[in-house]
């Protein structure tokens, strides 16, 4: 039997086993025991020697003393000559009481808007999609709101919580697909009453506000945010007390943004082709053509045109260098540039600068560009276009 410095007896809080730890580093061992306190719980972050986390320090004995024979002589003891493990022993706030080994799992309760459910703890609830559900999903952003969930898309649920005791969890996970201010906003509107349901003698004229298409709950969300934000502003700016305590501005902002989002219409933006067309002049066999509106490139219209020789050109805006480019559509090779910041690439033959002398696309081939009314020379057309007698960069013609 090896004689060592100190032997420490520990109680495993999770398994209830007695553990013996034997080390020659008596100085460090005494310091650690003094810090944690004899009889108190220590946190040991040494998974190699201690598979669990919390251990109570039961006793400490001098390995040279006879009363330490049981600890030193344990064949299953942890024998740490240098005391390396002691560097990972820490004091806790548990005192002499081992912490509960049941993990704390936060839960949220989803109560169906069409049901009334009374409960004290979540684990009391008999779960059903028609009454209430308990979930381990993190719904902290939706507490106090109403949501739709992917698993039951036709139902609306109020979000309650969080709960950390008697949850009965881990529980099923649910995915939120939409959030609302309250059940009224989420549930479909009630059917209009029939004449029999409204006695005629109680009916009164009502105000009708046309062109108001927002839902009532969306209007309320915007009004509530605006009013509370104004109170918050006056408190900061003028020191006026407005009873803002307890008002969650961020939550009101989320509700407002959700209302604004529901009002948005996507995919309805369309471009309108102007009434003026781009006339691309070329010399000799290249011919002159009316360019076709192509698409928006870098925030401006681009144009396509096909020379009589079959070369396809494209004119587009280069937003990096801030000039117009005339290039071969098939190869992408740039033939010319026009240093003009404008909505249209209008330039004389002298104003267009040669980059590469490409066939029928550079100033050497007579390149210049003008605006003409589209009806003057439609493109494509089954008959040859007739050029105006004269034309200028301002778009006028005679």
Q: Give the confidence band of 104 by pLDDT, cuts at 50, 70, 90.
A: low
Q: Evaluate if residue 2 carries a pLDDT over 50.
A: no
Check residues 323 and 299 and name the one with the higher pLDDT: 323
Q: Give the confidence band of 8 by pLDDT, cuts at 50, 70, 90.
A: very high
How far does CA 32 lie from the centroid of its chain?
47
The pTM for the full model equals: 0.32
The answer to whether the beta carbons of residues 18 and 10 sit under 8 Å apart is yes
* Sign of torsion over alpha carbons 191, 194, 197, 201: positive
User: What percent of the chain is predicted at pLDDT more than 70?
Assistant: 80
- Give tens-digit pLDDT for 357-367: 878 899 989 99
Closest CA to 292 of 395, 352, 378: 378
Q: Evaluate if residue 162 carries a pLDDT over 80.
A: yes
- Give tens-digit pLDDT for 193-242: 554 444 444 444 444 444 445 666 777 778 888 887 887 777 777 776 66
Check residues 104 and 27 and name the one with the higher pLDDT: 27
Torsion angle, alpha carbons of 78, 81, 87, 90, to 10: 40
Name 2's Cβ contacts closer than 8 Å, sequence gap at least 6.
Answer: 72, 79
Q: Which of 4-8, 93-97, 302-306, 331-335 has the lowest mean pLDDT?
A: 4-8
- Give tens-digit pLDDT for 366-394: 999 988 877 655 444 433 344 444 433 33
d(Cα 17, Cα 7) in Å, to the nearest integer? 16
Q: Evaluate if residue 41 carries a pLDDT over 90.
A: yes
Q: Which of 11-25, 271-285, 334-348 has the lowest mean pLDDT?
A: 271-285
Closest CA to 280 of 398, 373, 366, 374: 366
Q: Evaluate if residue 178 carries a pLDDT over 60.
A: yes
Q: Give the confidence band of 345 by pLDDT, cuts at 50, 70, 90.
A: very high
pLDDT of residue 100: 72
């Amino acid at each position: 039997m090896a004689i060592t410095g100190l032997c420490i007896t520990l109680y495993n809080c999770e398994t209830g086993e007695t553990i013996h730890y034997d080390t020659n580093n008596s100085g460090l061992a005494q310091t650690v025991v003094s810090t944690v306190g004899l009889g108190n719980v220590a946190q040991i972050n040494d998974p190699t020697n201690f598979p669990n986390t919390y251990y109570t320090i039961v006793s400490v004995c001098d390995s040279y003393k006879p009363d330490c024979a049981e600890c030193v002589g344990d064949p299953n003891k942890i024998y740490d000559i240098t005391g390396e493990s002691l560097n990972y022993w820490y004091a806790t706030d548990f005192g002499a009481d081992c912490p509960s080994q049941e993990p704390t799992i936060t839960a949220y309760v989803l109560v169906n808007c069409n049901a009334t459910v009374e409960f004290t703890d979540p684990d009391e609830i008999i779960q059903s999609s028609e009454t209430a559900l308990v979930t381990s999903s993190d719904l902290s952003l939706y507490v106090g709101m109403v949501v739709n969930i992917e698993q039951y898309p036709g139902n609306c649920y109020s979000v309650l919580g969080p709960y950390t005791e008697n949850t009965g969890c881990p529980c099923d996970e649910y995915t939120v697909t939409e959030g609302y201010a309250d059940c009224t906003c989420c549930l479909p509107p009630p059917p209009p009453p029939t004449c029999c349901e409204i006695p005629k003698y109680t009916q009164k004229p009502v105000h009708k506000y046309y062109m108001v298409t927002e839902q009532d709950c969306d209007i309320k969300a915007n009004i509530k945010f605006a009013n509370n934000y104004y109170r918050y502003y006056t408190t900061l700016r003028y020191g006026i007390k407005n009873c803002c305590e307890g008002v969650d501005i961020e939550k009101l902002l989320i509700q407002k943004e959700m209302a604004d989002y529901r009002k948005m219409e996507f995919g309805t933006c369309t471009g309108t082709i102007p009434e003026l067309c781009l006339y691309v002049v070329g010399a000799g066999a290249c011919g002159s053509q009316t360019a076709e509106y192509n698409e928006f490139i870098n925030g401006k219209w681009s144009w396509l045109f096909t020379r009589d020789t079959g070369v396809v050109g494209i004119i587009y805006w280069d937003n990096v260098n801030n000039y117009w480019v005339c290039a071969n559509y098939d190869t992408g090779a740039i033939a010319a540039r026009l240093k003009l910041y404008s909505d249209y690439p209008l330039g004389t033959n002298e104003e267009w600068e040669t980059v590469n002398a490409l066939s029928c696309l550079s100033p050497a081939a007579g390149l210049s560009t003008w605006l003409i009314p589209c009806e003057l020379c439609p493109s494509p057309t089954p008959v040859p276009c007739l050029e105006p007698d004269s034309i200028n960069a301002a778009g006028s013609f005679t």
